[in-house]
Amino acid sequence: MGKKYVLDVLGEVCPVPLFKTKEKVTRELSSGDTLLVETDFPRAVRNIIDWSEKHGHHVKVIEIDEACWQVQVTKK
Amino acid sequence: MKRKILTLLLLVTFIIILVIAWEHGSSLYWAAGVLLGFILHRCRFCFAAAFRDLIMFRDGSVTRAVIISLAISTVGFALLQYYSGLTGSDVPGNIEAVGVNTMAGAFLFGIGMVIAGCCACSFLMRLGEGFILFLFVLIGMLPGSLLGLLHRQWWESIWSHPPVYFPDYLGWGITVVVQLLTLMGLYLIVRRWEKTERGI
Amino acid sequence: MRKIIVKLLTSDWPYWVGGVGIAVINIGLLALTGKPWGITTTVTLWGFKLANIIGVRLENVEAFREYLTRLADFNFWYGGNLLNVGLIFGVLVSAIISREFRFKKITGKRQVYLALLGGLLMGYGARLASGCNVGALVGGISSLSFHGWLFLIFALGGAWVGCQIMYVLLRRVM
């Protein structure tokens, strides 16, 4: 089990959520760590999933509240 | 349960406005607007993203959708314009002069949409999604539009040229074929660009 | 059957569906009204309305004459206004039925300043170039007019500059 990090981007719009996710995942996480991104912007959810899949990171989404999601990106 | 009532309420509002708009002869616009909003939101479509995601994240998925859209509407518009030419009426569409005003306007618009995080189309979408923030974009846009109108002549006076309508110069067939080939080329360039990687 | 429809209406659709949708509706608008889809002309009229309400006198400005005549028959039922309001309404419907609507909080002053500045630039630019991404880029290119392509080239340049500004802001400030 890797370490868990939390990134709160509630209320932020593009390009902030994906940019911050990308920075954290590529610079701070080591392989196996998971970043929990909390966002209320549907487009950001899709963006982060697309980016993660493109780069081979494991990604999972759970709805934590109405119109509020946690995207879990596990670094490959 | 609450959602069902809300949905019903929205449906009733839609129909009431549709009926009243019918009296004013503008129900078509209302129906088209609602349909566009629904489709664009379900697709998470955004013109600003077509530019920004391509540059910042090397993600051209929206850009490619815009290119596909342009290819389809090019054919549709050309047919309608050709048909109106046969009946001798004015050419329909947005055919405007080109000049320094177009270049400066597009450039400033480009900067603005990346900074604001939306374009003129997606700021309306963000409002519908519940972003209060985008009211501030609107507040900025209103005086901006008036200022733009006020200064337009000055920009035009630097250099401007009457509208360039391609079929007048190249003929119908060549214009459409060249434009479709250009769009196809752009599509391939975007595909290529997506495969390049830069670690930001 | 009902389940399939609900699922279809509340799931994510691929981007190309949006592209095809825009093209089809735009062609329909051109065929039935003679003008393609546009947004910023109406936004400008909103600006005139607001100026009227807060009491700014604009009658004697030559550059505004064309818009002032349009303003005469502008009300809620004006076609362009219904297009814009309808778009917001359509998004609202889509967001509510799929549990995606929520009043999003503003995270700070920085967001507000950027929104105001971005809006100002977009309003100004759209009026200079006779349209935004929708009216000038999509409407212009589809109408086989050169100004649409010119808009595309310079908007791409502007977006590139905007991205550089955002890089600096995101790295240093946010």
Neighbour-count burial of C159, counting CB atoms closer than 10 A to its CB (0-12 exposed, 13-18 middle, 19+ buried): buried
Q: Name chain A contacts of C101, Cβ cutoff 8 Å.
A: 67
Residues in chain A with pLDDT values less than 50: none
The answer, yes or no, to whether residue B126 has pLDDT greater than 50, is yes
pLDDT at position A1, please? 66
User: For C30-85, what is each residue's pLDDT tens digit?
Assistant: 999 989 999 999 999 999 999 989 988 888 888 888 888 888 889 999 999 999 99
Q: Name chain A contacts of B129, Cβ cutoff 8 Å.
A: 41-42
Per the CB < 8 Å rule, is B133 touching A50? no
Please tell me the distance from the alpha carbon of residue B65 to that of residue B60, in angstroms, as a whole number.
Answer: 9
Please give the residue of chain B at the shortest CA–CA distance from C101.
B129
Kindly list the partner chains of chain B, i.e. chains with 3 or more CB atom pairs below 8 Å: A, C
Please list, residue by residue across C109-141, b when 16 or more beta carbons sit within 10 angstroms of its beta carbon and e when fewer do.
Answer: eebbebbbbbbbbbbbbbbbbbbbbbbbbbbbb
Q: Name chain B contacts of C144, Cβ cutoff 8 Å.
A: 74, 77-78, 81, 93, 95, 165-167, 175-176, 179
User: Is the minimum CB–CB distance between C66 and chain A shorter than 8 Å?
Assistant: no
Q: Name chain C contacts of A63, Cβ cutoff 8 Å.
A: 99
pLDDT at position C174, please? 67
Give me the residue from C13, C38, C97 closest to B43, CB to CB.
C13
Average pLDDT over every residue of B61-74: 96
Average pLDDT over every residue of B101-111: 96
> What single string gives the DSSP state of each residue in A5-57?
EEEE-TT--TTHHHHHHHHHHHHT--TT-EEEEEES-HHHHHHHHHHHHHTT-
Q: Name chain A contacts of C110, Cβ cutoff 8 Å.
A: none
Per the CB < 8 Å rule, is B64 touching C47? no
Please tell me the distance from the alpha carbon of residue C82 to that of residue B16, in angstroms, as a whole number.
Answer: 13
> What single string gives the DSSP state of each residue in C25-88?
HHHHHHHHHSS---SHHHHHHHHHHHHHHHT---TT-GGGHHHHHHHHT-STTSHHHHHHHHHH
Cα separations in angstroms, C77 against B28, B139, C146: 11, 22, 32
Q: Which residues of A are catalytic?
A: 14
The tokens describing C23, both together, are: 């093209």
Please tell me the distance from the alpha carbon of residue B169 to that of residue B6, in angstroms, as a whole number.
Answer: 54
User: For B151-181, what is each residue's pLDDT tens digit?
Assistant: 999 999 999 999 999 999 998 899 999 999 9
Give me the residue from B59, B118, B200 closest to A50, CB to CB.
B59
Written as one letter, the residue type at C113 is Y
Per the CB < 8 Å rule, is C174 touching A16? yes
The domain spans of chain A are 4-74
The answer, yes or no, to whether residue B200 has pLDDT greater than 60, is no
Please tell me the distance from the alpha carbon of residue B33 to that of residue B126, in angstroms, as a whole number.
Answer: 15
Q: How confident is the model at residue B199 (pLDDT cuts 50, 70, 90)?
A: very low
Per the CB < 8 Å rule, is C102 touching A66? yes
User: For C98-150, what is each residue's pLDDT tens digit?
Assistant: 988 989 988 889 899 999 999 999 999 999 999 999 999 999 999 999 999 99
C 68-107 → A contacts, CB under 8 A: 95, 99-102, 104-107
pLDDT at position B163, please? 92
pLDDT at position B8, please? 94
- Distance between A15 CA and the closest CA of chain B, angstroms: 7
Per the CB < 8 Å rule, is A67 touching C101? yes
pLDDT at position C145, please? 95
The domain spans of chain C are 2-173
Q: Name chain B contacts of A23, Cβ cutoff 8 Å.
A: 200
User: Is the minimum CB–CB distance between B9 and chain C shorter than 8 Å?
Assistant: no
Per the CB < 8 Å rule, is B126 touching A14? no
Please give the residue of chain A at the shortest CA–CA distance from B117.
A14
A 7-26 → C contacts, CB under 8 A: 10-12, 15-16, 19-20
- Distance between C1 CA and the closest CA of chain B, angstroms: 18
CATH of domain A4-74: 3.30.110.40
User: Does residue C148 or residue B199 have the better pLDDT?
Assistant: C148
Average pLDDT over every residue of C2-29: 92
Q: How confident is the model at residue B198 (pLDDT cuts 50, 70, 90)?
A: low
pLDDT at position B119, please? 86
